[in-house]
């Protein structure tokens, strides 16, 4: 598996919702509110969103956990959208470089970035003056049961 590319956040995204986290005890609220935000942002696709939502919630939880455990507080999570969904997870440690865990067995942790790469369409990271961002994009499922062929 390749490393996460150094890449800026995709352009022209609008913020759907933002969360600020200080501890892992807040992850349950984040997962619940992200699921709700995804459903509310495109209610017309609710039936098709189940798998997308599950993958995004898992990725968000993993990235936020990494930021809380390995970065500097606070952790800020943003759900962005403009034809795609983007999760932008930032911590206040712009110096450390996100690294994919290699050679760990099941149950030893360290698979958050591996899962992110599996579920997301694109993944990237970059640092600013005060924050490090890891982002993951997901297509908005626009399959419609309108009888048209793709």
Digit-coded pLDDT (tens) for 65-117: 999 999 999 999 999 998 899 999 999 999 998 887 766 655 555 678 888 98
Note whether residue 9 is domain-resident: no
Q: What is the pTM of this model?
A: 0.86
* CATH code where residue 32 lies: 3.30.565.10
Note whether residue 120 is domain-resident: yes
Note whether residue 13 is domain-resident: no
Note whether residue 103 is domain-resident: yes
Q: Decide: 19 and 77 in contact? Cβ < 8 Å.
A: yes
Note whether residue 124 is domain-resident: yes
Note whether residue 6 is domain-resident: no
Tell me: cis bond preceding 74? Omega within 30 of 0 counts: yes
Note whether residue 150 is domain-resident: no
> What's the domain range around 112?
22-139
CA distance 73 to 90: 9
Distance of CA 113 to CAs 58, 67, 122, 129, Å? 11, 11, 12, 23
Distance of CA 128 to CAs 7, 15, 34, 134, Å? 12, 19, 25, 11
> pLDDT by residue (tens digit) across 20-62?
999 999 999 999 999 999 888 766 655 556 788 899 999 999 9
The number of domains in the chain is 1
């Amino acid at each position: 598996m390749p490393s996460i590319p150094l890449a800026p956040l995709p352009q022209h995204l609008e913020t759907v919702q933002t969360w600020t986290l200080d501890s892992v005890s807040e992850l349950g609220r984040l997962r619940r509110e992200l699921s709700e935000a995804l459903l509310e942002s495109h209610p017309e696709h609710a039936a098709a969103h189940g798998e997308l939502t599950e993958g995004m919630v898992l990725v968000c939880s993993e990235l936020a956990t990494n930021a809380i455990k390995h970065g500097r507080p606070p952790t800020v999570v943003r759900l962005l959208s403009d034809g795609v969904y983007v999760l932008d997870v930032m911590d206040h440690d712009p110096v450390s470089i996100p690294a994919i865990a290699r050679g760990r067995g099941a149950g030893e942790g360290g698979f958050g970035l591996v899962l992110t790469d599996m579920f997301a369409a694109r993944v990237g990271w970059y640092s600013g003056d005060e924050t490090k961002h890891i982002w993951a994009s997901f297509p908005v499922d626009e399959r419609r049961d309108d009888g048209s062929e793709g």
